[in-house]
Amino acid sequence: MYKFSYAEIVEESGDESRARERQALDHAIELMTLAEARGVHSLEAQNAIDYVQKLWGFFIKDLTDAANQLPEQLRADLVSIGLWILRESDAILNDRVTSFAGLIEINRVIRDGLQ
């Protein structure tokens, strides 16, 4: 029979969660990189924006949940970044921004911080 401490299980669960978040951000970056190559009016751009908005909507919902155990200031900072990502992706949809470069860079920084 295996015996694990609660702390070990929670730590492993956190590691698994961060790995899933990294994978989701990797996928977003791949989609946006392809969209950047194909242009902001392409089907790939629409797919990238849809995915990024859903992903960051999920992140923001999780970050604003009272049960989230990240430090309050970090959560607030990440929510602010998430809101910027949503606004920037809307700006691409509305032809106010013509590149995914900023979105790609910010998502890379966040992804790299999960390691």
Domain ranges of the chain: 16-113
Given a cut of 60, whether residue 38 has pLDDT beyond it is yes
Token pair belonging to 29 = 């970056």
Residue 18 contacts by C-beta under 8 Å, 6 or more apart in sequence? 114, 115
**Residues of the chain above pLDDT 70, percent:** 89
Burial 47-58 (b: 16+ CB within 10 A, else e): ebbebbbebbee
DSSP secondary-structure letter at 54? H
| DSSP-H helix ranges across 1-115 | 6-38, 43-63, 72-93, 101-113
- Average pLDDT over the chain, rounded to whole? 90
Given a cut of 90, whether residue 2 has pLDDT beyond it is no
Amino acid identity, position 107: N
Contact 49, 93 (CB under 8 A): yes
- Prediction pTM value: 0.86
In this prediction, residue 3 carries a pLDDT of: 47
**Residues of the chain above pLDDT 90, percent:** 83
Give mean pLDDT, residues 6-20: 65
